[in-house]
């Protein structure tokens, strides 16, 4: 994670088997989500896709750990099924 020395924003690269996505975290989003970020883990990321000078970026407004989300779904399903 690269941080702007003035605290303006951070730029990060996330990748999967198909692509690499450059993301931008502005200060409010960064302070909300920095504790979730860890190298090499899967995430569900939401935000606004933008194109500037031919480069496509994602301005992040939400990020969740995929593993935590899967655990929550598994728990909810087992609770609904009375397990």
Q: How many helices (H) and strands (E) does the chain have?
A: 2, 5
Predicted confidence at residue 8, as pLDDT, reads 59
Q: Which domains does the chain have, with CATH numbers?
A: 2-80 (2.40.50.140)
- pTM score: 0.58
Q: What is the pLDDT of residue 44?
A: 83
pLDDT at residue number 55: 78
Question: How far is Cα 64 from Cα 67, in angstroms, rounded to an integer?
Answer: 9
Nearest 5°: CA angle at 24, between 51 and 45? 95
Q: For the chain of 83 residues, list the mean pLDDT of each consecutive stretch of 10.
A: 55 76 80 76 85 82 80 76 65
- Residue 25: what pLDDT? 81
Q: Look at residue 82 in the predicted model and tell me its pLDDT.
A: 67
């Amino acid at each position: 994670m690269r941080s702007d020395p003035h605290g303006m924003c951070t730029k990060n690269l996330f990748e999967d088997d198909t692509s690499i996505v450059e993301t931008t975290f502005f200060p409010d989003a960064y302070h909300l989500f920095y504790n979730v970020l860890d190298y090499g883990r899967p995430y569900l990321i939401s935000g606004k896709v933008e194109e500037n000078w031919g480069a496509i970026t994602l301005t992040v407004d939400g990020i969740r750990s995929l593993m935590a989300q899967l655990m929550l779904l598994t728990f909810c399903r087992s609770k609904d099924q009375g397990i």
